[in-house]
A = this chain, B = another copy of it.
Amino acid sequence: MTSLDPAVAARLKRTPDASGRGLVAAIAQQHDTGEVLMLGWMDDEALHRTLTSGLATYWSRSRQEYWVKGDTSGHYQHVKEVRLDCDGDTLLVRVDQVGAACHTGERTCFDADLLREVSDD
């Protein structure tokens, strides 16, 4: 059961996780700088909570529970806009990130590990 707007729910193309829960990917982006902060997952209820509370809320695949980003760390994501992609399987969640997005303390989850950089000629 979920309270997600049926008109939105009908447009989602969910991928089942290992436990069969239908999820869509959610890319969190800092709304003003454009930084890509992290990738999380949402089911219908997490999306509903994100849209109505204004705080980005994910489904934790490892802990199998809802997770308001920041509830433990204080590093909340205040939602500015939510967009759905052309296939209906990915959300772009534009937020104002409080503090560090990554549990390691880095600003984004992509700061630490550069696999390849190409210099401009």
- Chain A stretch 19-40: residues in CB contact (< 8 A) with chain B: 25, 27, 29, 33-36, 38-39
> Contacts A11-B113, A113-B84: A118 and B79 contacting too (C-beta < 8 A)?
yes
Q: Is the CB of B39 within 8 A of A25?
A: yes
Interface residues on A, range: 35 or more
Partner of A36, one of B29, B54, B112: B29
Q: Which residue of B lies closest to A81 (CB)?
A: B117
A92–B110 Cα distance when bound, in Å, is 7
Is A69's beta carbon under 8 Å from chain B? Answer: no
Is A64's beta carbon under 8 Å from chain B? Answer: no
Is A72's beta carbon under 8 Å from chain B? Answer: no
Residues of the B chain whose Cβ atoms lie less than 8 Å from the Cβ of A111: 83
- Taking the closest CB of chain B, its distance from the CB of A103, in whole angstroms, is 7
Partner of A109, one of B36, B90, B103, B117: B90
Q: Is the CB of B114 within 8 A of A83?
A: yes
